[in-house]
Amino acid sequence: MIEAPPKDRFLAELRAVPEFFRYRAARPAFPRPPKGDGHPVTVFPGLMASDRLTAPLRGCIAEAGYPVVGWGLGLNLGLRRGLLETMLTRVRIWSDRHRRKVTLVGWSLGGLYAREIAKRAPGHVRQVITIGTPSVGSLRANNAWRLYEALNDHKVDAPPIDTDLHEPPPLPITSIYSTDEGIVPVGAAILPEGRARESIAVAGSHVGLPWNERVIRIVLDRLAQPEGEWRPYGAEREG
């Protein structure tokens, strides 16, 4: 049975602050990112986060030559009525503007959004990359569900949309998860086996995943794959 991380790990999420300053110090020395084809990217924030917290990740994506946007909808308070349709419209417009399919990157709750959008608009989406996002087990097996339900008029596992939140999209999907974070347990973020699916472990806080150097390097590697030529991530290709 998958259970939420223990209290000591939850309290250790405060390390996201020094992790950010380590990222800032190390940023100038990051290896040159792999060159991709410049297709568009959208990044979705986690619960109680906005585009401001995904700025480090988006900045690195932009420097690698990809047009990238945040979700542009302020603070992520949960899956309110009409929100999914708004996100779908924005992704379709972003795809049509560039005449290319979009890679959707979602951190935590934002990863659930990315997966749902990909299931509804596969013709506009190239791949999905989730970061610290639950994939299996109960959506109460984490340390964020109580906050989610306090902010919304529905249960965390009964959003106002007709869907199976655990069902992955029929597209290439990468789940990046931390082995020592304090919000989402390790087992919950590992995808079921399937074609063009992979789960990749990193270390670090949940809150700090958008400025985790290894996360950024994995995302850039996944973005650089030629369209239609997906292959599993190889750690030996880092560096």
DSSP line for 52-78: HHHHHHHHHHHHTT--EEE--SSS---
Tell how far CA 90 is from the center of its chain. 17
Give tens-digit pLDDT for 88-135.
999 999 999 999 999 999 999 999 999 999 999 999 999 999 999 998
Would you place residue 236 in the very low, low, confident or very high pLDDT band (cuts 50, 70, 90)?
very low
Tell me, what's the pLDDT at 219?
97
Residues of the chain with pLDDT > 90, as a percent, come to 88
Residues 219-233 have pLDDT tens digits of 999 999 999 999 999
Report pLDDT for 239: 38
Mean pLDDT, rounded, for 144-172: 93
DSSP characters for 79-140?
--TTHHHHHHHHHHHHHHHHTSPEEEEEETHHHHHHHHHHHH-TTTEEEEEEES---SS-TT
CATH of domain 7-27+37-225: 3.40.50.1820
Band (pLDDT 50/70/90 cuts) for residue 215 is very high
Single pTM value for the model: 0.95
